[in-house]
Amino acid sequence: MTSDNLWQARTETHPDRAVVTLSGELDITAVDQLRDLLTTTLRANPVVDVDLSRLTFLDSTILSVLVTAYQDATAAGGTLNLINPIGHVHRVLTVTGILPLLEPGDTAEATPPHHA
């Protein structure tokens, strides 16, 4: 349990990747803990899938953490993928253009899309 029990994270390590499953609601109160979790996980595993199937809310500060983690992973020769987003989380990631950038198998450069 983290950040006043609003969210949880579970990490599973596999031979070719780590899977971080996030659940609950992620907002500005979770930024430091999530950043630390992703940084630590990416240092130990070049490929990290972030499973969002149990995440019900995220705000712009979390979007920033996810994009920064993706950029850091790519710069180090690895990758960070967002998998299984649903509901509000899927909509936010799609509307902001972040989901196509961080979906598995994407070849986009490690730069978030620019909006006019």
Rounded to whole angstroms, how far apart are CA atoms 7 and 55? 8
In a domain, 111, yes or no: no
Q: Is residue 115 part of a domain?
A: no
Q: Tokens for 24?
A: 């609950």
Band (113; pLDDT cuts 50, 70, 90): very low
Residue 5 has what pLDDT? 72
Q: Summarize the confidence of residues 1-17 as an average pLDDT.
A: 84
Res 3: pLDDT:
46
Q: Which domain holds residue 84?
A: 7-102
Domain assignment present for residue 108? The answer is no
The span from the CA of 26 to the CA of 30, in Å, is 6
Q: Tell me, yes or no, whether 32 lies in a domain.
A: yes
Please state, as a whole number, how many other Cβ atoms lie within 10 Å of the Cβ of residue 58.
Answer: 24
Asked, for residue 43, whether it belongs to a domain, the answer is: yes
pLDDT at 112: 39
pTM of the model: 0.85
Output the pLDDT for position 36.
Answer: 98
**Count: domains in the chain:** 1
Token pair belonging to 113 = 């899309």
Reference 26, options 71, 64, 81; nearest CA is 64
Q: Could you give the CA distance from residue 25 to residue 77 in angstroms, rounded to a whole number?
A: 30
Q: Are 19 and 49 in contact (CB under 8 A)?
A: yes
Residue percentage of the chain with pLDDT more than 70: 86
In a domain, 79, yes or no: yes
Output the domain CATH number for residue 98: 3.30.750.24
Averaged pLDDT, 3-18: 89
Q: Is residue 109 part of a domain?
A: no
pLDDT 10s digits, 42-91: 999 999 999 999 999 999 999 999 999 999 999 999 999 999 999 999 99
Pairing of strands 47-58, 18-26: parallel
- pLDDT given at position 4: 61
The answer to whether residue 58 sits within a structural domain is yes
- Transcribe 34-70 into DSSP letters: HHHHHHHHHHH-SEEEEEEEEEEEE-HHHHHHHHHHH
